[in-house]
């Protein structure tokens, strides 16, 4: 078996994960591949397009991904472990896709430039465009947050 770098392993795993997770109607949120000596740890975060992946769905995807990796035969089963999890309620939201999942929910934002005199904003996400979000802040005030000015957002729970 050829010797693989972590970058090559990451590319192969990402390709397989996109196929398996996509076939289940879900999204690959994050992928990390790390190594220690001869062991490879694969950490994957997946979610449904509208959020809410269950523990049972994580277990099913985990088994399907392990089977796909073993079928491709580029990593011996005894040298890798795979962890698949949901992103959790407190995960940072940074991409347009992240924000699509939470339309209608209350969010807290950190901004890299002041909007309305503040570098933080909180409100219900009401509209989403390619370049900006609109939230309804306290007092029925509407704020438009340009995507480039958002460092991150989180659900208010």
Q: What is the CATH number of the domain that holds 33?
A: 3.30.300.70
On whether both 10 and 77 belong to a single domain, the answer is: yes
Q: Pairing state of beta strands 27-36 and 118-128? A: unpaired
Provide mean pLDDT across the span 85-91. Answer: 83
pLDDT tens digits for range 30-84: 899 998 888 999 999 999 887 788 999 999 999 999 999 999 998 988 999 999 9
- Between residues 123 and 140, which one has the greater pLDDT? 123
On whether both 81 and 102 belong to a single domain, the answer is: no
On whether both 13 and 74 belong to a single domain, the answer is: yes
**Residue 90 domain-assigned (yes or no):** no
pLDDT tens digits for range 8-35: 999 999 999 999 999 999 999 889 999 8
Q: Residue 58 in 3-state DSSP?
A: helix
Compute φ and ψ for 100, nearest 5 degrees. Answer: -60, -35
Structure token digits, residue 93: 């939201």
Question: What is the residue range of 131's domain?
Answer: 96-155
Please enumerate in sequence order all residues whose Cβ is within 8 A of that of 147, keeping only pairs 6 or more positions apart, or say none. Answer: 96, 130, 131, 132, 133
**Residue 106 domain-assigned (yes or no):** yes
Provide mean pLDDT across the span 102-111. Answer: 93
> What pLDDT was estimated at residue 1?
45
On whether both 26 and 50 belong to a single domain, the answer is: yes
Domain count within the chain? 2
- Say whether pLDDT at 2 is over 60: no
On whether both 80 and 24 belong to a single domain, the answer is: yes
> What pLDDT was estimated at residue 3?
65
**Residue 1 domain-assigned (yes or no):** no
On whether both 75 and 113 belong to a single domain, the answer is: no
């Amino acid at each position: 078996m050829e010797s693989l770098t972590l970058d090559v392993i990451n590319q192969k795993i990402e390709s397989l994960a996109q196929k398996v997770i996509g076939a289940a109607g879900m999204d690959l949120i994050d992928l990390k591949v790390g190594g220690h000596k001869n062991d490879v740890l694969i950490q994957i975060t997946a979610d449904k397009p509208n959020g809410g992946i269950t523990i049972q769905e994580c277990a099913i995807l985990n088994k399907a991904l392990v089977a796909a990796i073993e079928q491709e035969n580029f990593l011996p089963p005894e040298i890798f472990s795979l962890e698949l999890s949901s992103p959790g309620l407190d995960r940072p939201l940074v991409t347009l896709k992240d924000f699509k999942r939470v339309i209608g929910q209350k969010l807290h934002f950190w901004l890299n430039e002041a909007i309305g005199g503040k570098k933080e904003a909180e409100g219900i996400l009401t509209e989403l465009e390619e370049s900006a979000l609109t939230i309804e802040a306290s007092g029925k005030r509407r704020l438009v947050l340009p995507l480039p000015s958002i460092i991150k957002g989180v659900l208010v729970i």
